[in-house]
Amino acid sequence: MAREQKGHKWFAAIYDRLTAPAERSYMRTIREEIVGGAKGRVLELGAGTGASFPYYNDHAEQVIATEPDPYMLERARRRAEEVERPIEVRQASAEELPFDDASFDTVVSTLVMCSVSDPLRALSEVRRALVSGGRLALAVPCHGRLKNLVHALRGFERRHDPRHRRRAHWRDDQRLRRE
């Protein structure tokens, strides 16, 4: 049973403006590589406002984007209408994906795993939803230039969203590989 998701209306309203400098400088390159490489039936986790949508190309035969926050979801749906490629946007959390096993060829996740309540559960769900030999393409804001975006959002996470965590460590990754 899916839990009702709480949203952050004001944060959704300023998110694109807040992240615009990062999008113009380095996120564009990251999205081109990660999203542009998506093939077949694609699941995007935590689509946010839909910043990745313009980067999908003809190799992505079908794109289903998920987002748990209802206010971000509303903005993602509007952005999906603006791009050439049809993108279906659904409300869902990464920890409880409402899809059958082996449903997707590619799962895309940009700037998401730091904000899920249970990253290992989310990655287990990704593993379940991917076809055998499927591809998980993700960008995690932990090091390098992505770290700047984390610092910009730090004030928000402290006051309003304790889900933002940097808990997925090497040991967790190793445990997930064994499971």
For the segment 93-128, what is each residue's pLDDT rounded down to a tens digit?
999 999 999 999 999 999 888 788 888 899 999 999
Q: Domain holding 53: CATH number?
A: 3.40.50.150
Q: What distance in Å separates the CA atoms of residue 50 and residue 30, rounded to the nearest whole number?
A: 15
Q: Give the H/E segment covering residue 125.
A: helix 119-129
- Rounded to the nearest angstrom, the gap between the alpha carbon of residue 107 and the centroid of all alpha carbons in its chain is 9
- What is the per-residue pLDDT across 128-139, written as a single tens digit (0 to 9) for each? 999 999 999 988
113-143 residues labelled b (16+ CB within 10 A) or e (exposed): bbbbebbbebbebbeebbeeebbbbebbbee
Residue 6 lies in a domain: no
Residue 147 lies in a domain: yes
- Predicted confidence (pLDDT) at residue 81 exceeds the cutoff of 90: yes
Residue 66 lies in a domain: yes
Residue 67 lies in a domain: yes
- Predicted confidence (pLDDT) at residue 147 exceeds the cutoff of 80: no
pLDDT at 172: 38
Calculate what percentage of the chain has a pLDDT beyond 70: 75
pLDDT at 27: 86
Q: What total number of domains does the chain contain?
A: 1
Residue 8 lies in a domain: no
Residue 2 lies in a domain: no
pLDDT at 174: 42
Residue 10 lies in a domain: no
24: domain range? 19-178
9-18, 30-39, 62-71, 91-100: range with lowest mean pLDDT = 9-18
